[in-house]
Amino acid sequence: MKSTKPKKLDGAKLAILANRFGGICSKMGNTLLRTGRSGVLNRAKDFSCCIVTRDCELLHAEESLPIHVLSGPDLMARSMHEFHPVLKRGDVFLHNSPYHGDSHPADHTLLMPVIDKAGVHHFTLLAKAHQADIGNSIPTTYHGTARDVYEEGALIFPAVKVVENYQINEDIVRMCRMRIRVPDQWYGDFLAMLGAAFIGEREVLALGGEIGWATLHGFTDQWFDYSERRMVAAIKAMPAGKGVGKSTHDAIPGTPPDGITITSKVKVDAKKALISVDLRDNPDQLNCGLNVSEACTRTSAMIGVFNSVDPSVPKNAGAFRRIELQLKDGGVVGVPRHPISCSAATTNLADRVQNATQLALAAIADPLGMGEIGCFCPPSTSVVSGVDPRNGQPYVNQLFLGHTAGAAVAYQDAWMTMLHAGNGGMCFIDSVELDEVYTPIIVKTRRLIPNSEGAGRFRGAPGIEVELGPVDCRMEVGFVADGNINRPRGARGAGDAARSDQFRRKKNGKLERLAQCSQVWIEDGEMLISIACGGGGYGDPTTRDPNRVGRDVGEGIVGVARARDVYAVAVSKNGTLDTKKTRDLRRKKSKEKMI
Amino acid sequence: MRFACDTGGTFTDLIVEDGSGKLSMYKAPTTPEDPVAGVLDALGLAAIDFKMDRADFLAHGTMLIHGTTHAINAIVTGNTAKTAFLTTAGHPDILVLREAGRIEPFNFHVPYPEPYIPRSLTFEIPERVGSNGKIVEKFDEAAVLRVIAKLKRAKIEAVAVCLLWSIVNPVNERKIGRLLKKHLPGVPFTLSHQLNPALREYRRASSAAIDASLKPLMARYLGGLTERLGAAGFAGRTLVLTSQGGMVDARDLAERPIHAINSGPSMAPIAGRHYSGGERKTPNAIIADTGGTTYDVSLVRRGRIPKTRETWIGRPYRGHMTGFPSIDIKSVGAGGGSIAHVDGGEILHVGPESAGAVPGPVCYRNGGDQPTLTDACLVLGYLDPNFFLGGLMKLDVAAARRAIEQQVAKPLGLNVMQAAWSVVGVATENMVQAISEITVNQGIDPADAILIGGGGAAGLNSVFIARRLGCRELVIPETGAALSAAGAMMSDLSSDYRAMFFTSSADWDEAGVNAILKDLEASCKEFATGPGEGAQTTKIEFSVEARYAGQVWEIDVPLRKSRLRGKAALVALIADFHDAHEEVFAVRDDGSVVEFVGWTASVRCRLGSGRAGRVRHSAAEDIVLGKRKVYFENHGRVDTPIHSLQSLKTGQRKKGPAIIETPFTTIVVDPGASFLLARLGSVHITA
């Protein structure tokens, strides 16, 4: 083997190699999307592909779901090395243990070490995909009320070798087939992930052959240093200070009656170019499925930070050197301990960690932070199951039929389709037609809800209403909603988004409110109604550009009365502004504020 | 004679193929207010060259193939028709939600995209068809009439209709079509199931919305083109290029104008494939077409031109999906007309704003007062002020110099030459980035590819681009200045027919499949004997979109024969699918049922020879040879020999610095590079 000292790469070479690694991740992702069997993969794209270095440091994950990757791939790769000190070419490991670095058990992850012909390990590839089912005790991948992992029921794989010398270990496949609902679907998704890993390995091996491994490792060091320098410059340009943010998840069985309040204390130290997030002042772990794994706690705080940092700073181990996190051992967020359940660790409370962090940043100064991003997971994103009367086959899958949730920042309205905070808007929304083919349902309505946005100088997304029901059968649905009592709040004087809600429309047409955390049957002829939140605004709504308000009115997002009362803008129904009246309204509002 | 005419942002390129197969090239300024005038101007130039009067000359033409940016320009500038969107009640936000998805998840600067048709022009129609095609909610005709009354009052100019499940049961879309025809006469409409019979309501709705919004202006444009060509004496056939890299009759395209979105640029890779050698084993090629306004990059990968399944107008997830596959082209705002300016932070930008055809660069003396890439090249000595467009246009060096001096050199504290060089440097970097993006996406390493430079401004900085990318060779074809038009000369008349028919390996319906294939073949044959009549060769190819049970994205598997008869044919098809799946995705699932969803027959009729002839050289190319002072970085102003194409001996390698002048392009070879004239008349440069 040639062993040359890595030479210093110029800016252009660095950029090209970074793009090459990015291209490998995209290719892996494309494989997963195109070959996945469950809707959660092939319709919603709820998966991520990334690369870590031989030292288990995150190298590239740019177009992944943020909650999947900022932290976790590093921890999982470390556990792989710990449990398997000798790695061989063609090995692949299945990992879904939240106690060893995975996000939550529903995110099955395949880790494939890239090993050259000489047997030297160079990089590790990860394909992480949310499964339609993981063998939980009830047909959902978010078991909100599980008092521990045993009640949750998931099969846990702490970096288990499933492929050796490119051959699948059929023992493990048989185990999974006995314990995971709709086993053919699971196996197809497993193959899709494996295809992604194989394709990634092939590409990285080719890249190493072409560029030379020494140069590639030299590249990663320089790329991390460059990323850190970019992060230093970005933090130095931010207003310094300390802020505290709080965000509360609604109560469900197993939580205190007032819900769970998450506190995030953030310090931006421009001088040291360091941002620290202290999450120690939080409750102990609880006997429910909402506990947030270490990977997701770390990641949520980091997303909250990065959402206020110059977006062109690469997100990798280099930039992460400038973020300091303090976690609570045994906390409901922090480092929950086995056998407590982390079933819904990527969404509900993790989103509250991110939102609290964003509110803490907003408390420091405009333009930092953002409003609260809307809550997960409403019934429009439930896990549904039953028997399809068209073919007599059982089915289980998560729907992604309607989401908005986007929150405003100091300089722009919300990106509407965020899904939830940790997702960053990366998932797709299901095509109604595709869902109706693959699941025995009909989607009667999917529409934005007027006057439900978090008002502000820049506004949050409006909420969305979805009505769906089973066709010629009954259907079991599971969801863990949030945001009915504790609505997504606005930042720096902005308004909150409207509340979430959920109903059953009975055969007689009457509406029955369902519990926020439900596992219920919807009978043939009944409909499920999902009201999902939008997101919080940013800044005083009466300082919003009246033209933007006019456009929202013309487009039916905001009504004439709300424009007048909340935004102090006089506008007709078709969106035509009355400039003089608006000026008067705003003058009056600012006088009121002075008093 | 055949004419190929490509209207770009700045120039209208014309290639004439005479009876002997020789080519001649012409360029006339594009006339944005009335692009047909530019086409006629170019034909006028050709007539003069052929020493005929224009009517006479046009009467010799059998075919005119046209590429146009009219459709995409209208979308980008927001000049499409005021279009309404009619959809199933309960689902008004199909165009607002799109399919969600995002790039750059930490970038909150980017606004959420506006829907292609606003909510205020979206109307819900009470009706619903189920996924099995059965009526779930009754169609409410009275409600449709009320909507039509509103459309009238709102002075709607076009209507897009997309109802859920219209691909399974189109009855309600058809009813709306009849009502629109009757009660809103003269207002064009598009029914989604007719235009793009594909699953996924957003894609179908987006196709319909874009198509309808283009109908009024494209019908006017293409009608005007045919009519005015006829009035000028042309009695041949007018064909227009499509985004898929084929061509169709102008009147057919007016019915489906969405296919004109990448008309023109889609031809560059077809020409590029020819000049790169075209065979399977040849290296990969990057085709970069430098116009006045945009820089279009496309690829040839081992002899094949990659297509994208998903064509976006704008960036993915931030723009609009056309719903159709198209030739993969990356376009950025960089070209000869790109304007150079220094911002408040003292950073030099070149483009994306362009001086376009009007007013054009400062040196054109048409009222342009902002310096452009062309002005910088003139100042550096790359362009000969007396031999631009073969001497048709005199360039004003002093004016270009003044503009660079005042607007670039002074604010940056550089001398004029350094400033002009910086403009070229920044433009080069923008172009390199565009190439990197598409090659990364397609997994091609530029260092392993040849770069083919097309477009009038390609020769000015392609050698710098090639060096920056590490490309092994730069090729400037002799038709390079009009590369898209040259590609058009080689393209085929084509049409694709697609039918949805579901069957699987578990319950294979041989009779059903063969009935579908028979229908598709009949459509192809009808095309071949209709629009394709008189073709030199006709080829029909069949393929099926297939997937494993549970997947929702299919891969195309070519059929070995036009019918599938007997068990062996099915076994072979299934084996082909497994192999294709493994090749693309590295895994196969031999135990899984294979589902067959969509069946396609493509017919291609070759009207020309399929190859470009050689360029006819005219007297106008007698260029003053000799030397002039040209500025290069690290060398300063250097005495540089000037060559014409004819003065070069085929196969003889020479060293830079050198300038090679042709009537429509100037090729700059810097010190350190070498070049030779190759067999097909192309100049090959090693940077």
Cβ-based neighbours of B196, under 8 Å, separated by 6 or more: B203, B204, B207, B208, B323, B324
> Do residues A568 and A585 make contact, with C-beta atoms less than 8 angstroms apart?
yes
- How would residue A1 be classed by pLDDT, with cut points 50, 70 and 90? very low
Phi, psi at residue A405, to the nearest 5°? Answer: 80, -10
Q: Among residues 525-584 of chain A, which lie with CB inside 8 Å of chain B?
A: 554-557, 574-575
- Whether residue B492 is predicted with pLDDT greater than 90 in this model: the reply is no
Q: What's residue A593's pLDDT?
A: 80
Chains A, B: CB contacts under 8 A, how many?
Answer: 184
pLDDT digits (tens, 9 = 90+) for B51-61: 999 999 999 99
Query: Which chain A residue has the Cα nearest residue B547?
Result: A35
Q: What's residue B583's pLDDT?
A: 82
Residue B168, sorted as left (phi over 0), alpha (psi -120 to 50) or beta, turns out to be alpha
SS3 letters across B151-209: HHHCCCCEEEEECCCCCCCCHHHHHHHHHHHHHCCCCCEEEHHHHCCCCCHHHHHHHHH
- Residue B66's H or E segment, with its range, is strand B63-67
Phi, psi at residue B21, to the nearest 5°? Answer: 90, 0
- Average pLDDT of the residues in B368-375: 95
User: How far, in Å, CA of A481 to CA of A249, rounded?
Assistant: 10
Cβ-based neighbours of B437, under 8 Å, separated by 6 or more: B330
Q: Among residues 546-575 of chain B, which lie with CB inside 8 Å of chain A?
A: 548-553, 555
Q: What's residue A3's pLDDT?
A: 45
> Do residues A286 and A260 make contact, with C-beta atoms less than 8 angstroms apart?
yes
CATH 3.30.450 location in chain A: 11-142+152-227
pLDDT digits (tens, 9 = 90+) for B608-664: 776 777 888 765 455 557 899 999 988 999 999 999 888 888 899 999 999 998 878
User: How far, in Å, CA of B78 to CA of A558, rounded?
Assistant: 25
Percent share of chain B, pLDDT over 70: 97
- Average pLDDT of the residues in B237-266: 91
Which stretches does DSSP call E strand in B301-447?
307-308, 312-313, 320-321, 326-327, 330-332, 338-342, 348-354
- Average pLDDT of the residues in A214-234: 95
Closest to B502 (Cα-Cα) out of B167, B171, B174: B167
Neighbours of B540 (CB within 10 A): 18
Q: What's residue B84's pLDDT?
A: 98
Q: Do B585 and A23 touch (CB under 8 A)?
A: no
- Whether residue B155 is predicted with pLDDT greater than 50 in this model: the reply is yes
- Average pLDDT of the residues in A271-291: 97
User: How far, in Å, CA of B420 to CA of B379, rounded?
Assistant: 7
Quick one: chain A helix, strand, coil %, rounded to 5? 30, 25, 45
**For the residues of B390-419, what is the DSSP string, one character each?**
TTTB---HHHHHHHHIIIIIHHHT--HHHH
User: How far, in Å, CA of B145 to CA of B151, rounded?
Assistant: 10
User: How far, in Å, CA of B153 to CA of B151, rounded?
Assistant: 5
Q: Flag the least confident range among A211-220, A482-491, B468-477.
A: B468-477
CATH of domain A11-142+152-227: 3.30.450
The encoded tokens of residue B534 equal 């008189």
Cβ-based neighbours of A34, under 8 Å, separated by 6 or more: A42, B551, B553, B555, B584, B585
Confirm or reject contact between A425 and chain B (CB < 8 A).
yes
- Please report the domains of chain B, with CATH numbers, ordered by start residue: 2-75+219-260 (3.30.420.40), 80-218 (3.40.50), 493-606 (3.30.1490), 619-686 (no CATH)
Q: Among residues 27-66 of chain A, which lie with CB inside 8 Å of chain B?
A: 27, 31, 33-39, 42-43, 45, 62-63, 65-66
pLDDT digits (tens, 9 = 90+) for A102-153: 999 999 999 999 999 999 999 999 999 999 999 999 999 999 999 999 999 9
SS3 B641: strand
Q: Which of B87, B131, B318 to mutate to test the interface with A (most CBs of A within 10 A)?
A: B131
Q: How far is CA B456 from CA A585, B10, B668, B683, in A?
A: 58, 10, 13, 15
Q: What's residue B197's pLDDT?
A: 87
The encoded tokens of residue B351 equal 């483009």
Phi, psi at residue A207, to the nearest 5°? Answer: -65, -45
Q: How far is CA A182 from CA A81, A139, A186, A497, B590, in A?
A: 32, 11, 7, 38, 18
- How would residue B402 be classed by pLDDT, with cut points 50, 70 and 90? very high
Closest to B99 (Cα-Cα) out of A460, A133, A382, A435: A435
Q: What's residue B279's pLDDT?
A: 45
Neighboring chain B residues of A198 at a CB cutoff of 8 Å:
586-587
ipTM of the complex, rounded to two decimals: 0.96
> Do residues B139 and B175 make contact, with C-beta atoms less than 8 angstroms apart?
yes
Percent share of chain B, pLDDT over 90: 65
User: How far, in Å, CA of B377 to CA of B399, rounded?
Assistant: 13
* Partner-chain residue, chosen from A195, A309, A429, that has the shortest CB–CB distance to B99: A429
- Whether residue B105 is predicted with pLDDT greater than 90 in this model: the reply is yes
> Do residues A249 and A352 make contact, with C-beta atoms less than 8 angstroms apart?
yes
Q: How far is A14 from chain B (nearest CA, A)?
A: 13
- Average pLDDT of the residues in B443-462: 87
> Do residues A410 and A490 make contact, with C-beta atoms less than 8 angstroms apart?
no
CB burial string B118-144: b at 16+ within 10 A, e below: bbbbbbbbebbbbbeeeebbebeeeeb
The length of chain A is: 595
A464 alpha carbon, distance to own chain's centre: 19
